[in-house]
Amino acid sequence: MDWVVSNNKYLVGKISILDFTNDGVGLKRKNGCIRNMEIYLDTANMEEIREIVSWGVITGLTTNQKIFLKEKGTDFKKRVFEILNLVDGPVSIELTKTKLSNDELLNEAREYSSWHERNVVIKIPMFHDGRGLELVNKLCKENISTNATCLISTNQVILAALSGATYVSIFFNRVKDSGGDPITVIKESRMLIDEGNLKTKIIVGSLRRPSDVIEALTSGAHIVTVPYSIMVKLPWHWKTEETIKEFDQAWLEYTKS
Protein backbone atom coordinates (compact mmCIF):
# COMPACT_ATOMS: atom_id res chain seq x y z
CA MET A 1 0.00 0.00 0.00
CA ASP A 2 1.37 3.47 -0.86
CA TRP A 3 0.81 6.15 1.75
CA VAL A 4 1.26 9.61 0.31
CA VAL A 5 2.18 12.40 2.68
CA SER A 6 1.50 16.02 1.81
CA ASN A 7 1.43 18.99 4.18
CA ASN A 8 1.18 16.50 7.05
CA LYS A 9 -1.85 14.87 5.40
CA TYR A 10 -1.70 11.13 4.87
CA LEU A 11 -3.66 10.42 1.74
CA VAL A 12 -4.55 6.79 1.60
CA GLY A 13 -4.49 4.62 -1.47
CA LYS A 14 -2.34 4.12 -4.51
CA ILE A 15 -2.25 7.69 -5.64
CA SER A 16 0.37 10.20 -6.53
CA ILE A 17 0.57 13.64 -4.99
CA LEU A 18 0.52 14.91 -8.57
CA ASP A 19 -3.12 13.74 -8.76
CA PHE A 20 -4.13 16.47 -6.33
CA THR A 21 -4.31 20.25 -6.24
CA ASN A 22 -5.08 22.30 -3.17
CA ASP A 23 -7.86 24.80 -3.90
CA GLY A 24 -7.74 26.32 -0.42
CA VAL A 25 -11.00 24.60 0.55
CA GLY A 26 -9.95 21.03 0.48
CA LEU A 27 -7.73 18.73 -1.50
CA LYS A 28 -9.20 18.59 -4.95
CA ARG A 29 -8.54 15.70 -7.24
CA LYS A 30 -7.68 16.92 -10.72
CA ASN A 31 -10.72 15.05 -12.02
CA GLY A 32 -12.87 17.41 -9.96
CA CYS A 33 -13.65 15.28 -6.90
CA ILE A 34 -13.23 17.38 -3.76
CA ARG A 35 -11.85 15.59 -0.73
CA ASN A 36 -13.72 17.43 1.94
CA MET A 37 -12.59 17.95 5.49
CA GLU A 38 -15.22 18.88 8.03
CA ILE A 39 -15.62 19.39 11.75
CA TYR A 40 -18.83 18.50 13.57
CA LEU A 41 -19.69 19.25 17.19
CA ASP A 42 -20.44 16.31 19.53
CA THR A 43 -22.96 17.79 21.97
CA ALA A 44 -26.64 18.58 22.59
CA ASN A 45 -25.98 21.59 24.81
CA MET A 46 -27.44 24.78 23.33
CA GLU A 47 -24.94 27.19 24.91
CA GLU A 48 -22.04 25.13 23.60
CA ILE A 49 -23.63 24.90 20.15
CA ARG A 50 -24.37 28.65 19.98
CA GLU A 51 -20.79 29.54 20.93
CA ILE A 52 -19.10 27.19 18.47
CA VAL A 53 -21.52 27.85 15.59
CA SER A 54 -20.48 31.51 15.84
CA TRP A 55 -16.91 30.49 14.90
CA GLY A 56 -18.16 29.42 11.46
CA VAL A 57 -16.19 26.17 11.39
CA ILE A 58 -18.72 23.44 12.13
CA THR A 59 -20.86 21.93 9.39
CA GLY A 60 -22.81 19.32 11.37
CA LEU A 61 -23.46 17.81 14.79
CA THR A 62 -23.65 14.40 16.44
CA THR A 63 -25.46 13.21 19.56
CA ASN A 64 -26.05 9.98 21.42
CA GLN A 65 -27.93 8.87 24.54
CA LYS A 66 -25.00 9.72 26.86
CA ILE A 67 -24.82 13.21 25.40
CA PHE A 68 -28.57 13.67 26.07
CA LEU A 69 -28.11 12.38 29.62
CA LYS A 70 -26.02 15.51 30.26
CA GLU A 71 -29.13 17.51 29.24
CA LYS A 72 -31.41 15.57 31.64
CA GLY A 73 -34.75 17.31 32.16
CA THR A 74 -35.00 18.75 28.64
CA ASP A 75 -37.70 17.64 26.21
CA PHE A 76 -35.92 15.44 23.63
CA LYS A 77 -37.98 16.45 20.58
CA LYS A 78 -37.93 20.14 21.51
CA ARG A 79 -34.14 20.06 21.96
CA VAL A 80 -33.61 18.32 18.61
CA PHE A 81 -35.72 21.00 16.90
CA GLU A 82 -33.67 23.74 18.61
CA ILE A 83 -30.47 22.09 17.37
CA LEU A 84 -31.84 21.72 13.84
CA ASN A 85 -32.72 25.42 13.82
CA LEU A 86 -29.20 26.41 14.80
CA VAL A 87 -27.01 23.95 12.91
CA ASP A 88 -27.16 24.26 9.14
CA GLY A 89 -25.99 20.74 8.31
CA PRO A 90 -26.45 17.06 9.14
CA VAL A 91 -27.52 16.34 12.74
CA SER A 92 -27.13 12.72 13.89
CA ILE A 93 -29.80 11.40 16.27
CA GLU A 94 -29.31 7.89 17.64
CA LEU A 95 -32.02 5.22 17.86
CA THR A 96 -32.75 5.11 21.58
CA LYS A 97 -34.56 1.87 22.39
CA THR A 98 -32.33 -0.74 20.80
CA LYS A 99 -34.21 -3.67 22.40
CA LEU A 100 -37.20 -2.96 20.11
CA SER A 101 -37.88 -5.02 16.98
CA ASN A 102 -36.49 -3.77 13.66
CA ASP A 103 -39.96 -2.73 12.53
CA GLU A 104 -40.35 -0.60 15.65
CA LEU A 105 -36.85 0.87 15.17
CA LEU A 106 -37.68 1.69 11.55
CA ASN A 107 -40.67 3.67 12.77
CA GLU A 108 -38.50 5.48 15.34
CA ALA A 109 -36.07 6.34 12.52
CA ARG A 110 -38.86 7.54 10.20
CA GLU A 111 -40.31 9.70 12.98
CA TYR A 112 -36.95 11.46 13.67
CA SER A 113 -36.29 11.82 9.96
CA SER A 114 -39.62 13.63 9.49
CA TRP A 115 -38.44 16.40 11.85
CA HIS A 116 -36.44 18.13 9.09
CA GLU A 117 -36.63 18.03 5.31
CA ARG A 118 -32.97 17.00 4.91
CA ASN A 119 -30.72 17.40 7.95
CA VAL A 120 -31.68 14.51 10.26
CA VAL A 121 -29.28 11.55 10.13
CA ILE A 122 -30.29 8.36 11.94
CA LYS A 123 -27.51 6.84 14.04
CA ILE A 124 -27.75 3.07 14.06
CA PRO A 125 -25.50 0.92 16.26
CA MET A 126 -23.58 -1.98 14.72
CA PHE A 127 -25.54 -4.80 16.39
CA HIS A 128 -23.56 -8.07 16.46
CA ASP A 129 -26.28 -10.00 14.60
CA GLY A 130 -26.43 -7.78 11.49
CA ARG A 131 -29.75 -6.22 12.57
CA GLY A 132 -28.22 -2.74 12.37
CA LEU A 133 -27.00 -3.39 8.83
CA GLU A 134 -30.52 -4.44 7.82
CA LEU A 135 -31.86 -1.17 9.25
CA VAL A 136 -29.21 0.88 7.42
CA ASN A 137 -30.07 -0.84 4.16
CA LYS A 138 -33.83 -0.39 4.56
CA LEU A 139 -33.45 3.30 5.43
CA CYS A 140 -31.03 3.78 2.52
CA LYS A 141 -33.77 2.47 0.18
CA GLU A 142 -36.15 5.04 1.72
CA ASN A 143 -33.56 7.81 1.12
CA ILE A 144 -33.14 8.37 4.86
CA SER A 145 -29.56 9.30 5.82
CA THR A 146 -27.85 6.98 8.29
CA ASN A 147 -24.78 6.98 10.49
CA ALA A 148 -23.60 3.48 11.45
CA THR A 149 -22.17 3.97 14.90
CA CYS A 150 -20.02 2.47 17.67
CA LEU A 151 -17.58 1.12 15.06
CA ILE A 152 -14.30 -0.31 16.33
CA SER A 153 -13.01 -2.44 13.42
CA THR A 154 -12.44 -1.98 9.69
CA ASN A 155 -14.69 -5.01 9.06
CA GLN A 156 -17.58 -3.18 10.68
CA VAL A 157 -16.86 -0.02 8.67
CA ILE A 158 -16.84 -1.84 5.36
CA LEU A 159 -20.04 -3.78 6.07
CA ALA A 160 -21.83 -0.56 7.03
CA ALA A 161 -20.54 1.25 3.93
CA LEU A 162 -21.63 -1.58 1.65
CA SER A 163 -25.07 -1.75 3.24
CA GLY A 164 -25.58 1.90 2.25
CA ALA A 165 -24.64 3.94 5.33
CA THR A 166 -24.30 7.64 4.55
CA TYR A 167 -21.76 7.96 7.39
CA VAL A 168 -19.72 5.49 9.45
CA SER A 169 -18.61 6.53 12.93
CA ILE A 170 -15.26 5.16 14.10
CA PHE A 171 -14.77 5.66 17.85
CA PHE A 172 -11.10 6.69 18.08
CA ASN A 173 -10.43 6.26 21.80
CA ARG A 174 -12.74 3.30 22.21
CA VAL A 175 -10.66 1.55 19.50
CA LYS A 176 -7.63 2.31 21.68
CA ASP A 177 -9.47 1.12 24.82
CA SER A 178 -10.13 -2.20 23.05
CA GLY A 179 -6.40 -2.63 22.32
CA GLY A 180 -6.65 -1.60 18.67
CA ASP A 181 -4.98 1.17 16.67
CA PRO A 182 -7.50 3.80 15.51
CA ILE A 183 -5.09 5.24 12.95
CA THR A 184 -4.85 1.88 11.17
CA VAL A 185 -8.65 1.45 11.25
CA ILE A 186 -9.17 4.92 9.76
CA LYS A 187 -6.51 4.47 7.04
CA GLU A 188 -7.76 1.01 6.04
CA SER A 189 -11.37 2.21 6.01
CA ARG A 190 -10.61 5.28 3.89
CA MET A 191 -8.56 3.27 1.42
CA LEU A 192 -11.28 0.63 0.99
CA ILE A 193 -14.06 3.23 0.71
CA ASP A 194 -12.10 5.15 -1.93
CA GLU A 195 -11.04 2.06 -3.88
CA GLY A 196 -14.59 0.67 -3.73
CA ASN A 197 -15.92 4.01 -5.01
CA LEU A 198 -18.32 4.12 -2.08
CA LYS A 199 -19.98 7.40 -1.17
CA THR A 200 -19.92 6.75 2.58
CA LYS A 201 -18.13 9.37 4.68
CA ILE A 202 -16.01 8.51 7.69
CA ILE A 203 -16.79 10.41 10.89
CA VAL A 204 -14.26 9.94 13.67
CA GLY A 205 -15.61 10.50 17.19
CA SER A 206 -14.61 9.57 20.74
CA LEU A 207 -11.88 12.23 20.68
CA ARG A 208 -10.40 13.00 24.10
CA ARG A 209 -7.50 15.37 23.39
CA PRO A 210 -6.65 18.01 20.76
CA SER A 211 -3.99 15.80 19.15
CA ASP A 212 -6.68 13.14 18.43
CA VAL A 213 -8.38 15.62 16.07
CA ILE A 214 -5.34 16.00 13.83
CA GLU A 215 -4.42 12.32 14.02
CA ALA A 216 -7.93 11.41 12.82
CA LEU A 217 -7.96 13.96 9.98
CA THR A 218 -4.47 13.16 8.74
CA SER A 219 -5.29 9.45 8.78
CA GLY A 220 -8.15 9.92 6.33
CA ALA A 221 -11.28 10.88 8.28
CA HIS A 222 -13.67 12.95 6.14
CA ILE A 223 -15.15 14.42 9.31
CA VAL A 224 -14.17 14.64 12.97
CA THR A 225 -16.84 15.15 15.60
CA VAL A 226 -15.36 17.07 18.50
CA PRO A 227 -16.76 17.54 22.03
CA TYR A 228 -17.00 21.13 23.29
CA SER A 229 -14.29 20.57 25.93
CA ILE A 230 -11.77 19.73 23.17
CA MET A 231 -13.09 22.25 20.65
CA VAL A 232 -12.39 25.21 22.95
CA LYS A 233 -8.79 24.05 23.35
CA LEU A 234 -8.10 24.03 19.60
CA PRO A 235 -7.49 27.78 19.11
CA TRP A 236 -5.04 27.87 22.03
CA HIS A 237 -1.26 27.65 21.88
CA TRP A 238 1.03 28.92 24.64
CA LYS A 239 3.36 30.54 22.10
CA THR A 240 0.45 32.38 20.48
CA GLU A 241 -0.59 33.67 23.93
CA GLU A 242 2.99 34.78 24.61
CA THR A 243 3.20 36.49 21.21
CA ILE A 244 -0.09 38.35 21.67
CA LYS A 245 1.10 39.63 25.08
CA GLU A 246 4.40 40.73 23.56
CA PHE A 247 2.59 42.65 20.78
CA ASP A 248 0.13 44.21 23.28
CA GLN A 249 3.06 45.40 25.37
CA ALA A 250 4.79 46.82 22.29
CA TRP A 251 1.63 48.74 21.36
CA LEU A 252 1.37 50.12 24.89
CA GLU A 253 4.96 51.36 24.71
CA TYR A 254 4.43 52.77 21.22
CA THR A 255 1.31 54.72 22.22
CA LYS A 256 3.15 56.14 25.28
CA SER A 257 6.04 57.51 23.23
Catalytic positions: 123
Coil/strand/helix, residue 164: coil
174 binding ligand E4P? (CB under 6 A):
yes
171 binding ligand E4P? (CB under 6 A):
yes
Distance CA 48, CA 122 (A): 22
- C-beta closer to ligand E4P: residue 66 or 78: 66
Shortest approach of ligand E4P to residue 145 CB, angstroms?
14
212 binding ligand E4P? (CB under 6 A):
no
Distance CA 135, CA 160 (A): 10
- C-beta closer to ligand E4P: residue 20 or 90: 90
167 binding ligand E4P? (CB under 6 A):
no
42 binding ligand E4P? (CB under 6 A):
yes
Q: CA–CA distance from 47 to each of 193, 215, 225, 229 (Å)?
A: 36, 28, 17, 13
Shortest approach of ligand E4P to residue 250 CB, angstroms?
42
Binding mask 105-144 for ligand E4P (x = CB under 6 A): ----------------------------------------
Distance CA 53, CA 63 (A): 16
Q: Which residue is nearest to ligand E4P (CB)?
A: 205
Coil/strand/helix, residue 226: strand
First-to-last C-alpha distance (Å) of the chain: 62
163 binding ligand E4P? (CB under 6 A):
no
Q: Which of 60, 90, 164, 205 binds ligand E4P (CB under 6 A)?
A: 205
Q: Taking CA 211 as the corner, what is the angle to CA 207 and CA 214, rounded to the nearest 5 degrees? A: 90
166 binding ligand E4P? (CB under 6 A):
no
Binding mask 49-88 for ligand E4P (x = CB under 6 A): -------------x-x-x----------------------
* Pairing relationship of beta strands 27-29 and 20-22 according to DSSP bridges: antiparallel
Q: Which stretch binds ligand E4P (CB under 6 A): 14-22, 49-57, 167-175, 236-244?
A: 167-175
Beta strand residue intervals within the chain, DSSP E: 4-6, 9-11, 20-22, 27-29, 34-35, 38-42, 58-62, 91-94, 120-125, 146-151, 167-171, 201-205, 223-226
Which stretches of the chain bind ligand E4P, using CB under 6 A?
42, 62, 64, 66, 149, 169, 171, 173-174, 205-206, 225
